[in-house]
Amino acid sequence: MKIKSLLQKNRRNSLTVLAFVVVVAAGYFLSPVLSPETKSLSQNDDTVLISAEKALPEDAEADVVQDKDGKELLTPGLREKIGQMLVIGFRGTDLSQASFISGALDDLKPGGVILFDFDVPSQSFPRNIVNSEQVKKLIADLQSGSSVPLFVAVDAEGGAVNRLKSKYGFIDVPSAQQMGKESADNTRLQGETLGKELAYLGFNLDFAPVVDVNVNPQNPVIGKIGRSFSIEPQAVIEHAAAFIKGLEKYQIITSIKHFPGHGSSASDSHKGITDITESYKAPELWPFQELIKSGLAETVMVGHLVNKNIDSEFPATLSKIFINKILKQDLGFDGVVVCDDLQMGAITQNYGLEEAAVRMVAAGCDLLIISNNVGVYDETAPYKARDAILRAVESGGISKDSIEASFIKIENLKKKFGIIE
């Protein structure tokens, strides 16, 4: 059966999303036109934000339950469950310097933190990372200061994107592009070496590997700086799988990124909207599809990528079509969905922080990153995001069940990797 002609024949009666998945399976370029059915999916007729003057939900605080012996126990309330959906950044190389994060661990109870070497808003060094022993102590103190064990995350891909640089005394990890030129066994060994160091330091989550296919070698944020394993999707799959296995040997959680594929883009979503409508090629989805199928995708990071053929209104991070329909339903991903940094230009130039946070959760995101390390440093940002999500639950824009589902996924992931018992 000729998939291409079948799609043309049934275009008016088929969802563009279904066409997207079928085309990917066949390996053709994306070229569908939005059908009326898909357009209706992309419109958010429901109002997900409510006025800041509204009171927070009554059950936002912890609930009191009794165990089998009648002893009263506190279970996480809605406020705390939403806090677990946040990974936040902060300034400070030790906890005594970092008064913001000390307070946030107590009252925000975030699911995790993310560490950086360089502070982008102030263009200064150091941010959190100076050397091995300093990082190890900082992470130990963060975990001691948190009532709920944390995801402690880092961007350690190798090459240009690695917060643990060799000039600070950490191991030197080659770029994905370099690894892609060697054997997959070598890539696995590189993953093991990195995983051993991350585990020693106390990290448990690495936002890596990049599984974007190097469709555009001049892509300023992927191809040009060596972040893709290969121009060949199968090579990307093999090397990414090997890198994940290497990291997981040392109980490091990984995150394949940037769904649905950033490799063909010609711009940087840190700086503004990245539109892949005309450049996206179907094989860019294959690595996500295959790694999910193989069970190696513990988390998937969604990128701020616009494809108007699929969702004419929202980037993937805010899109129910991309997250709930394609990623979860069509590709069968049931793990933790991570949305790329809320403070990147693609979002801040087009949406308010609170609106973006609510739309991400409504679209199906489980874990939100607020790094405070893109354009601005705003210690109120995580609180604003949490409270906006709380109000959206009260307004009906987000269901309590979806918050509960995200909380359980996060809790189960932490249990699986020994972060909590």
- As annotated, the active-site residues are 270, 340
**Contact present, 407 and 84 (Cβ < 8 Å):** yes
Say how many CA atoms lie within 13 Å of 315 toward its Cβ. 29
SS3 238: helix
**Pairing state between β 156-158 and 161-162:** antiparallel
CA distance 136 to 123: 24
CA distance 368 to 381: 12
DSSP 3-state helix, strand, coil percentages of the chain (rounded to 5)? 40, 15, 45
Q: Position of tokens 């909590």?
A: 420
**Pairing state between β 336-339 and 299-302:** parallel
**Pairing state between β 299-302 and 151-154:** unpaired
CA distance 82 to 322: 22
Return the number of other C-beta atoms located less than 10 Å from residue 411's C-beta.
Answer: 17
DSSP string, 359-407: HHHHHT--EEEE-S-SS---TTHHHHHHHHHHHHHHHTSS-HHHHHHHH
Is the peptide bond preceding residue 174 cis, with omega within 30 degrees of 0? no
Q: Which residues make beta-bridge pairs with 113? A: 88, 152
CA distance 395 to 48: 7
**Spatial CA neighbour of 238 closest among 184, 185, 286:** 184
**Contact present, 222 and 268 (Cβ < 8 Å):** no
Q: What are phi and psi of 275, to 5 degrees?
A: -100, 120
Q: Which residues make beta-bridge pairs with 156? A: 162
List strand residue ranges (DSSP E) for 55-175, in order: 63-66, 72-75, 86-88, 112-114, 151-154, 156-158, 161-162
Q: What are phi and psi of 330, to 5 degrees?
A: -75, -40
- Indicate the residue type of 278: E
3-class DSSP string for 316-332:
HHHCHHHHHHHHHHHCC
**Contact present, 80 and 95 (Cβ < 8 Å):** no
- The DSSP symbol for 299 reads E
